[in-house]
Amino acid sequence: MQTRLRSALIGATAIAVAGAVHAADLTPKEQILTRQAGYSFMSWNMGKIKSNLEGNFSQPQVQAAAEAIAGIANSGMGALYGPGTDQDIDDVKTRVKPELFTNQEEVGEVARNFIEAADNMAEVAAFGDEAEVKKAFGELGESCKACHDKFRKD
């Protein structure tokens, strides 16, 4: 429980930190590409956890994947949604909906839930109980989907 609280606090800090990141260092096009890189890399690691749950379960592999996801989730990706990143730029397409840039309250909520689920996944993976991993993985997937449903075009 204490660990859960710690995670929630870290999550909250990560959100706060995001605003302080100097997005200005990256052009809008680079911001879109970088956020897509983060999601792609997390997706690969989600796939590894899924395939572990469907096949031979390797605790070290699941833990490594979960820590990569948690590291990316906590890196302050909010800074990659700066001005001008709400639309396609040249050949760089984005599926983000305009609502993401106007509905700060709901964005904050889905982001906090996602970071909390990613932190929980990493904690559970460190112990390696397969049933617990499955539960945490399901919750993490739900937190991804919640954001996709609200803020990503089909």
Residue among 33, 68, 30, 26 at smallest CA distance from 47? 68
Q: Does 51 bind a copy of itself (CB under 8 A)?
A: yes
- Residue pair 146/30 in contact (Cβ under 8 Å)? The answer is no
Interface residue with a copy of itself among 40, 84, 87, 145 (CB under 8 A) is: 40
- Cα–chain-centroid distance for residue 51? 19
Site for a copy of itself in 88-117 (CB under 8 A): none
Interface residue with a copy of itself among 68, 125, 133, 140 (CB under 8 A) is: 68
How many of the chain's residues bind a copy of itself (CB under 8 A)? 35
Give me the least distance between CB of 10 and a copy of itself, in Å please: 9
- Cα–chain-centroid distance for residue 100? 15
CA distance 86 to 81: 8
- Which C-beta is closer to a copy of itself: that of 3 or that of 40? 40
C-alpha distances in Å from residue 97, one per residue of 34, 45, 116, 138:
17, 25, 23, 25
Question: Among 44-52, 93-101, 125-133, 135-143, which window interacts with a copy of itself (CB under 8 A)?
Answer: 44-52
SS3 58: coil
Q: Does 136 bind a copy of itself (CB under 8 A)?
A: no
Rule CB under 8 A: which residues touch a copy of itself?
13-14, 16-17, 20-22, 25-26, 33-34, 36-38, 40-41, 44-45, 47-48, 51, 58, 60-61, 64-65, 67-72, 74-76
